[in-house]
Amino acid sequence: MQEIFDFLTALRNNNNREWFNANKEWYAEAKRLHEIFVAKIIKEVAVFDSDVALLSPSDCTFRIYRDVRFRKDKSPYKTNMGAYLSRGGKKSNYGGYYLHLEPGASFLGGGMWMPPAEILKLIRLEIYNFPDEFKQIIQNSDFISIYGPLTGEKLKSYPKDFPSDFPEIELLKHKSYAVTSPLSDKMILSEHIPYVVVKSFQTLLPLVKFINRAIDEAQPG
């Protein structure tokens, strides 16, 4: 992890193509070490969630190149390395587990962040049909101790297609059903980090399964 952090710190201070091209070997080594770590996490998570068992690191990790077409910040490279473990890989529309490595700003999390409208409606419908089950998941003491309460951007009014007098209408207003938990640099560089990540992801399992069940139930056949 130290070499990954050293590279990302240097990149943050030299976020330009000239520096990056001169340090491609360093990047390649940091990328290789990151993929080794992600492979280890996939293997451990697959013990309790078989949906990720067939994933490879390349299925889960993101390109370091930024899309700057519509951004004021034209820095060409991301200064983090991320991995999203989800059925079908990082581009799928299924809930999963996310690990973000960035000096001073690392975190882990999961669920589903800003899903497309049709997927969001399915998740809300599942919560509408099973509100007590969903509350039990997000109010679990282990869940709260790691991720805290469900937060994030919400609708100002109730979502269309749902009754305004639904007792748990606040749960349906969320635009994302995702949670995060910060990781200190000290923890990231600790020998215990694989255990911390895997145990934290295991705590997310009920939320991920709830979300993916909502999506699966809408599939034909």
pLDDT in tens, 34-66: 999 999 999 999 999 999 999 999 999 999 999
Supply the pTM of this predicted model.
0.95
- Please write the tens of the pLDDT for every residue from 59-115: 999 999 998 777 778 899 999 999 999 999 999 999 999 999 999 999 999 999 999
Measured CA to CA in angstroms, residue 62 lies from 15, 37, 78, 144, 165 at distances of: 17, 14, 10, 28, 42
Average pLDDT along the chain: 95
Q: Is residue 184 scored above 70 in pLDDT?
A: yes
User: 3-class DSSP state for residue 81?
Assistant: strand
Q: How far apart are CA 10 and CA 39, in angstroms?
A: 25
Q: Which domains does the chain have, with CATH numbers?
A: 2-216 (3.30.930)
